[in-house]
Each structure stands twice: as C-alpha cells, then as structure tokens.
Copies of this chain bind each other. A is one copy, B any other.
Amino acid sequence: MTPPKLLDKAALKERELLIINSAVHLIQQNGIENLTMDKVVTQVPFSKGTVYKHFIGKEDLLLAISNYSLELLGNLFYRAYQFKGCARSRMLLLNFSYLIYAMLYPALFQTVLCAKSPNVVGKSSERHINENERLEIKLMTSIHGIVEDGLNDNNLSLPMNMDIQQLCFSNWSMAYGVITLLSGEVDQCSGRTSLIVERELFNLSNMLYDGMGWKPMTKDKSHCAELKIALAELFPEELALISAKGRELNFNSFS
C-alpha cells in the first residue's frame, strides 16, 4: 500500500533548513536582490534539481525564508506577551522586540517585506503560503492578547467606533512605519538628521497610547526606566548581540 519512502520527513526538513540558511547567509552578504539560485546551489551539497524539488522557484524559497523569519519574530512577541507587568508596558515592550528583531536580522526583516509582494506569493507553493498565514496569525495572537488584557483590567477602553482588531492594527502599522523608515536597510530619508529609531518608537508609541486613553498615561508614569529594565531582563542575549554588532539601544537621550 504505502509507497516506498526513501527519505524520511526529518531529513527533508533538515535539508530544507540547510538551503534556507545558506540563502540567508548569501542575502546578508550580497543583498536580497543579488540572491541567485546558482549561488545557493554552490553553497549547498545538492544540485540544482534537488533544490528545485524543495522550492518550486526562487520566490518560493523567499517565502520559506520569510516563514523562518516570522517564526523567530513570533517567539520574541510571545515573550513580550508573557512578561509580567501592565498591558501598556507590555505592548511597548512588544514594539521594542520588533525593533530588536529588525536590528538583529535586517536581512530577514527585509525578506519578510519582499515576500509580501503579490508576485512572490503568486509564484509560491500552497504549502508555504499556508504556513505563512499560520505564522501571521500566531503573531497577531500575542498582540491581541495584550490588548485584551488591557481591556479586562479597565486601563483601556475601546475608542468610539473601533474594535480590538483596529486597535491592534493601529499599533502594528505605527511600529512598522517607524522601524521600516528608520532602522536597517532603507536609505534614510531627507530631514532624517538626528532621528534615533528607539527614541522615535518610544515617543510615538506613547503618544498613540495616550491618544487611546490607555492608562497609566505618560503624565502619570514615566515608562522609560521600566522599559529599560524589562528589555534587559527579557532579551539579554539579543541585546548582547546588538552590542556585538557595535550598536546600542540608547535611552539616555530621552528621560
């Protein structure tokens, strides 16, 4: 009945990861647009045909890398969600975990964006597309959870005419905008001088939460010291890696 299985699933998965890792290295070195399948093949102990057995095309490989990257981000978000502390602080923490991710893995951050382009999705396999959706839902779950905690402890109430989903999206798109424009690969825009990504993310997050009426308000509590402590406790390895890259999250320029 069962057709002969020459390779078990674990081995397949392992090879897939090997190919993905090789591709990530190439992207980090040469940039995402200089990634070629030929280069991937030379970095890997398989031939081109085998690589194409795993990924139906270059775009499919990109989507797989994006998924690998979303998995990483999902874990960071989940850690922020689980942290002790009030909901507003944890949401701020979650935004900063997003920033840490973008600083640590700029190539991955960039790939996730690229993989959202319709021509990548259009050329990808069902399998990877479905996994992508699953991972995104997982991300959203952490954000949703924090907002719901805020609603439950009465520090937050839904603004008129808005539901939970809209509130979650507001926070995400805001953080996305700041991080995309100020961190990493995008050439910074003019009038950029003296903009510091961690400071702008902090300020913008707090202005937004104040605008929502999410307590404790900025005027009643300085969130900065607490954030600094929470980051050190929750993401020690990540912060050390950022230091090793010669960059440092700077909290001294705003009290």
Q: Chain A residues in contact with chain B, CB under 8 A?
A: 31, 33-34, 116-119, 121, 133, 136-137, 140, 144, 159, 161-162, 165-166, 168-170, 172-178, 180-182, 185-187, 189-191, 193-195, 199-200, 203-204, 206-212, 254-255
Question: Which residue of chain B is the closest to A162 with respect to CB atoms?
Answer: B203
Kindly state the separation between the CA atoms of A104 and B204 in the bound complex, as whole angstroms: 28
Give the oligomeric copy count. 2
Task: Considering the complex, give the chain B residue whose CB is closest to the CB of A135.
Answer: B190
B residues within 8 A CB of A118?
31, 185-187
- Report chain B residues within 8 Å CB of A144: 191
How would you classify the secondary structure of chain A's contact residues: helix, strand, loop or mixed?
A: helix
Contact A200 B212 (CB under 8 A): no
B residues in contact with A208, CB < 8 Å = 174, 204, 207-208, 211
Q: With a CB–CB cut-off of 8 A, which chain B residues contact A204?
A: 170, 173-174, 208
CA distance A211 to B212 in the complex (A): 8
Interchain nearest-CB distance for A80 vs B (Å): 17
Q: A140-B191, A181-B176 are in contact. Are A119 and B34 (CB under 8 A)?
A: yes
A168 to B193, CA, bound (A): 13
CB-defined contacts of A203 to chain B, threshold 8 Å: 159, 161-162, 166, 170
Q: Are B159 and A190 in contact (CB under 8 A)?
A: no
Within 8 Å by CB of A137, from B178, B187, B191, B255, lies: B191
Cβ of B117 and Cβ of A170 under 8 Å apart? no
Q: Is the CB of A165 within 8 A of B185?
A: no
